[in-house]
Structure 1
Amino acid sequence: MLEGLLKSKFYAKSKSLLKMSKARLEVLKKKKSSVARFLKNDMAELLRSGFDYNAYCRADGLLVEQKMIACYNFIEQFCGCISSNLSAMNKQRECPEECKEAAQSLIYAAARVSEFPELRDFRTLFTERYGTPNESFVNEEFIETLRPKSTTKELKLQLLHDIAEEFNIEWNSKSLEQKLFKPPREHSVNISRTDTLLSQRTRARYRISYPTKTTDNQQNISDISRFCSKLFFSDSSKINSI
């Protein structure tokens, strides 16, 4: 009697969560799709107008939106699996084999998709019924989709090519590729040469030289003091004359 009551509560709670998740998915997917569509149109217009670097700079934003849409598609797929097999899940104490991936993937998503509160309710429901989560059953492609990672230049360039093809834009990426993959200038060498030149000019201006090594430490200190004094008094006199 008690076991049947608990199962009925599980069934009712699951049904309610599936209904709310469906509504949530519709809202989230509509919002993300709208943003992605706007970004794609904007990037296409930039490519058409010759501002390919500006389009390239917007690629990260579009990739983020596409990633989240893919994530929502997975969640929708998992919820569909739970819905189709809910009667079997209600009858069996152990999670049916065909539902393990869906159930564990929804649990896995709960801590990673903050805008989807129903996932946390699914996590509570499934862990109470089936015990400790087992990530070995989580969909590997879903894990890869949720994994934080930096986008490469090659990936963003490919996105631009896809947009150009979709919108029938004749675009040659050679100029942008040369700009993106141009070897960095050797700033450290330039800075070193500049510092050396300034140092030489400073010594010539004040007709002094840096203290050299000597066994007499007191002489070193004296040389440094004279060097600083000449710099100070010279700059002070200029300030006073203004």
Structure 2
Amino acid sequence: MGRKLDALLGRKFKTSKLKTTVNLAISRLSLLKNNRLARVTITISDVIQLLRLNHHQQALLQIEQVIKDQNMLDVYDMIHTYCYLLIQMINLVDQVNECPKELEDAVSNLLYAAPRCGEFPELQKIRVILTRRFGKEFANDASELRRNCGVSQKMIQKLSPAQSTLECRMKMLTGIAKENGVILQLEISSSEIRKEKVMEKKKFGKKISFFKSKKYKDATQDAFEAEAYVSAAAKTSTELTRSESFASDDSDSDSNGNELCYSAKDYNTLEVQQVNVRK
């Protein structure tokens, strides 16, 4: 509707406004990352203090906040990459009415992240500009995760409000304890971790049944969401075959490749890895 109105009124899209807003967003990212890094540092210090006082269960609870903050730092890195790509290819936005293939990933991920980063006003403005340029349907496809929307699975996982698994929290807590010379006294066995995974699998199964039984107005959107749940359930089922004792784990890296888990060394040095843009 926005593009049609602009055409009727003879208004031309100005890439300068988009470029200025994207540059402001990049500047804002530095501030947001510094604030988030400070939070991570404080929370990790609290975890270490709790471990030294033998309050291991409380420390395990605090780990969840560290994971969420680190996930958001990863999201900021992804947004930073997409913003730079948008600036480099800004001329393509001006030349065509539809979103160029070269920018579909960047634009879709920015549209999806915008409503989930409420403290990021510049990103909200970018969303408004891109929605006006490429249409509400394109924007809704990304924000509502409709089929072939172009939003990366990593972005979806990092912005998920779901709690991290016990396995992930234990892995991180073990790493932090090892780095700081603290002996863990948590009585959490691998059987308890497997039990949690079974519960997660049951939850996924209920959600899949819900998608199959209910009638939807938008069949394509719901099919995409159902497929995502099936994929997650399959992943959970696969992990059930693995059993390991975290208290004796001497490795600083996650051999299972779980993106939500990080080593203590990464947290103590606070090095945030740059995310490669999916091509």
Shift in Å, 1:145: 1.4
Partner of 1:160: 173
1:77 and 2:81 correspond: yes
Q: Within the alignment, does 1:130 sit opposite 2:134 as a pair?
A: yes
State whether residues 174 and 184 of structure 2, in contact with CA within 8 Å, keep that contact through their aligned partners in structure 1.
Answer: no
| 2:184 is aligned with 1:177 | no
Between the aligned partners of 2:12 and 2:165, the Cα distance in structure 1 is 50
* Matches for 1:54-73 after TM superposition, within 5 Å: 54-73=58-77
Whether 1:115 aligns to 2:119 is: yes
How many residues align? The count is: 177
The residue matched to 1:58 in structure 2 has which SS?
A: helix
1:139 aligned residue: 152
Per-residue deviation, residues 29-83 of structure 1 (Å, max 9, x unmatched): 0000011012112212333443322321211221221122122112112112111
Verify the 8 A CA contact 1:48 1:169 in the aligned structure 2.
Answer: no
Per chain length, whose mean CA-contact separation is higher, i.e. which structure has more relative contact order (CA < 8 Å, sep 6+)?
Answer: 2
Is the 8 Å Cα contact of residues 108 and 138 (structure 1) preserved in structure 2? yes
**Structure 2 residue aligned with 1:230:** none
1:32 maps onto 2:36 in alignment: yes
Report the residue type matching 2:181 in the other structure: I
Give the Cα separation in 2 of the matches to 1:152 and 1:110.
26
Amino acid at match of 2:90: L
Amino acid at match of 1:86: I
Q: Residue 207 of structure 1 corresponds to which residue in structure 2?
A: none
Structure 2: gaps (5+ residues): 1-5, 143-148, 196-279
CA distance in 1, matches of 2:37, 2:110: 22
RMSD: 2.7
The aligned residue for residue 25 of structure 2 is 21
> Comparing both structures, which one devotes a greater share of its residues to helix?
1
TM-score normalised over the length of structure 1: 0.65
Post-superposition offset of 1:103: 0.6
CA contact (8 A) 1:47 1:169 kept: no
- For residues 92 and 145 of structure 1, the distance between their equivalents in structure 2, rounded to whole angstroms, comes to 31
Identity across the alignment (%):
27
1:232 aligned partner: none
Q: State the one-letter code of the partner of 2:151.
A: V
Equivalent residue number for residue 6 of structure 1: 12
